[in-house]
Amino acid sequence: MLIGFVIVHLIGNLQFFAGPKLINEYGTKLRHLPFGLLWVMRLGLLGVAVAHIATTILLIKENRAAKGRGYARSSSVQSKIATRLMALSGIILLSYIVFHLLHFTTHTVSPQFAGWKDGEDHDVYRMLVFGFSNVGISLFYIVAMVLLAMHLSHGAASLFQTLGIRTKKMAFILGVGAQVLAWVVCAGYISIPVAVLLGKYDRSHVERAEQAR
C-alpha cells in the first residue's frame, strides 16, 4: 500500500508539468472529496505507516533473538550492510515525511501558503515553485528521494520474497524490476525541484499571483 501511495502521489505531482490549472484543480478536488474520504485515506495511510514501522521493529527483535549470541562473525556481510541502510534510510525518510507535511500540508514552514489561491482553487503550483526555489529545501528533497529509491528497491524485492513470488527463476527479473521501479519513481519526483531550480515553470502564473496580492 505504501508503494502504491508513492506511485499514485508521483502521478498526481507530475501534473506540475501540465501547468498550474491541472495541478491546482487536482489539489482542490483532493481537499474537497465527499464523505470525508480525504481523512479516511489519511488515516488509512497513517495506519499502514505505523504498522510498517512496528512490524519492522518486531522483525529486527525476532531476528536478533533467533541469532542469539552464537556468531562471532557474520557470514552475510552484504545483507548486514543492506539492512543497516534500510534502517538509516527509513529513519531519514520518516524525518523527511514529517518535514514534507509541515511544508506543504500544514504550511507550518511557510505560513503564507495557506492564503495562496488560484481563483477558487488552492494554488499548489505557486507553492511548489516557491518551495523549490529554495536551493537548500530542493537539495533536501533530492537527497530524500535518492534514499527513497534505495529503500524502495530493497523493500520491493523483499516484498516479492515475503509473498513467495521470488523463486530462483524469477529472482533476477524481480530484482531488476524493483530497481527500475525505485529509480523511475526517484527520477520522477526529483524532476520537479530540478525543473523549478532551472526556471522551467510557468512564470506568468507566479507573477500574476504575486501582483494580485
For ligand HEM, give the closer residue by CB, 142 or 171. 142
Closest among 18, 9, 6, 26 to 124, alpha carbons compared: 26
For ligand HEM, give the closer residue by CB, 13 or 134. 13
Residue 159: CB minimum distance to ligand HEM, A: 16
For ligand HEM, give the closer residue by CB, 82 or 100. 100
Task: Give the interface segment with ligand HEM, choosing from 6-14, 82-90, 170-178, 196-204 (CB under 6 A).
Answer: 6-14
**Residues 84 to 113: which contact ligand HEM by CB under 6 A?**
97, 100-101, 104-105
51, three cell numbers: 504498522
Residue 169: CB minimum distance to ligand HEM, A: 32
Check binding of 181 to ligand HEM (CB under 6 A).
no
Contacts of 149 (CB under 8 A, 6+ apart): 182, 183, 185, 186
Residue with cell 494580485: 212
Task: Give the interface segment with ligand HEM, choosing from 59-67, 71-79, 185-193, 199-207 (CB under 6 A).
Answer: 185-193
For ligand HEM, give the closer residue by CB, 154 or 166. 154
For ligand HEM, give the closer residue by CB, 90 or 177. 90
Question: Residue 141 and residue 48: Cα distance in Å, rounded?
Answer: 23
Residue 211: CB minimum distance to ligand HEM, A: 23
Question: Residue 56 and residue 84: Cα distance in Å, rounded?
Answer: 12
Question: Residue 184 and residue 190: Cα distance in Å, rounded?
Answer: 10
What number of chain residues touch ligand HEM (CB under 6 A)? 18
Check binding of 182 to ligand HEM (CB under 6 A).
no
Check binding of 189 to ligand HEM (CB under 6 A).
yes
E strand spans, 104-191: 117-118, 121-122
**Residues 120 to 179: which contact ligand HEM by CB under 6 A?**
122, 124, 128, 141, 148
Question: Residue 192 and residue 198: Cα distance in Å, rounded?
Answer: 10
SS3 of residue 33 by DSSP: coil
Q: Which residues pair with 118 in a beta bridge?
A: 121
Contacts of 109 (CB under 8 A, 6+ apart): 99, 102, 103
Site residues, ligand HEM (CB under 6 A): 6, 9, 13, 27, 42, 97, 100-101, 104-105, 122, 124, 128, 141, 148, 189, 192-193
